[in-house]
């Protein structure tokens, strides 16, 4: 039996099919949380906003026209919610700080395992480097983190990243370029 596509499920959700909605939530729940966390860097906010994105999906599924892939449409909705949230709550974080994070619950931007390495010292060195890079990513703007997460973590093409971000592909490439340049600079500073 062939699984229905996300686009077909979204059409059914637009017609009020709650079972189709449940399938979409199950398919995209973890990636939505991971993407929201990559932008917000706060576990609770990421949970809340990824759930809010699914509620908006349920409410607006009938407006999905299928001109883009469902994932592009949905992740754009999610990214916009996260960026709007960051803009609205920026003053709070500046005054009171980001607060305590639940480090053990936070997903890594690079959840991938490194390639098999014969030398354990080399593996430890790689793990430290990856950790330093993603610690430096904390200092990027939300837009830069979003583009980086979409391209690196979610493995979207730059045209898909641009569609999710609601900008021109050239703008998405600029965000990625600036993010990578900032990461290089930050990591080099730590090496000195």
Domain boundaries, the chain: 1-101, 108-192
pLDDT at 121 over 80: no
> CA separation (Å) from 168 to 51, 148, 160, 161, 162?
27, 16, 10, 9, 6
Q: Give per-residue pLDDT as tens, 28-86.
A: 999 999 999 988 888 999 999 999 999 999 999 999 988 889 999 999 999 999 988 88
Look at residue 91 and tell me whether its pLDDT is greater than 60: no
The C-alpha torsion from 173 through 174 and 175 to 176, rounded to 10°, is 50
Per-residue pLDDT band at 95 (split at 50, 70, 90): very low
Q: Render pLDDT for 149-166 as a digit per residue (tens, 0 to 9).
A: 888 878 888 898 999 999
162 or 187: which leads in pLDDT: 162
Q: How far apart are CA 58 and CA 99, in angstroms?
A: 31
The Cα–Cα gap between 104 and 120 comes to: 24
Question: What's the pLDDT score for residue 98?
Answer: 43
- Top CATH class of 108-192 equals mainly alpha
Among 1.10.1740.10, 2.10.109.10, 3.60.150.10, 3.40.50.300, name the CATH number for the domain at 1-101: 1.10.1740.10
């Amino acid at each position: 039996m062939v699984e229905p596509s996300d686009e077909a499920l979204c059409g059914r959700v637009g017609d009020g099919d709650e079972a189709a909605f449940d399938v979409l939530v199950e398919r995209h729940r973890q990636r939505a949380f991971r993407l929201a966390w990559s932008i917000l860097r706060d576990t609770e906010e990421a949970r809340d906003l990824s759930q809010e994105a699914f509620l908006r999906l349920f409410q607006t599924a009938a407006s999905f026209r299928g001109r883009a892939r469902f994932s592009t449409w949905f992740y754009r909705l999610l990214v916009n919610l996260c960026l709007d949230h960051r803009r609205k709550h920026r003053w709070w974080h500046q005054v009171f700080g980001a607060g305590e994070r639940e480090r053990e619950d936070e997903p890594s931007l690079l959840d991938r395992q490194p390639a098999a390495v014969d030398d354990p010292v080399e593996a430890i060195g790689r793990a430290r480097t990856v950790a330093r890079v993603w610690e430096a990513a904390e200092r990027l703007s939300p837009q830069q983190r979003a583009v980086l997460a979409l391209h690196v973590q979610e493995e979207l093409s730059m045209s898909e990243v641009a569609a999710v971000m609601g900008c021109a592909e050239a703008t998405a490439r600029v965000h990625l370029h600036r993010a990578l340049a900032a990461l290089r600079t930050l990591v080099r500073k730590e090496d000195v």
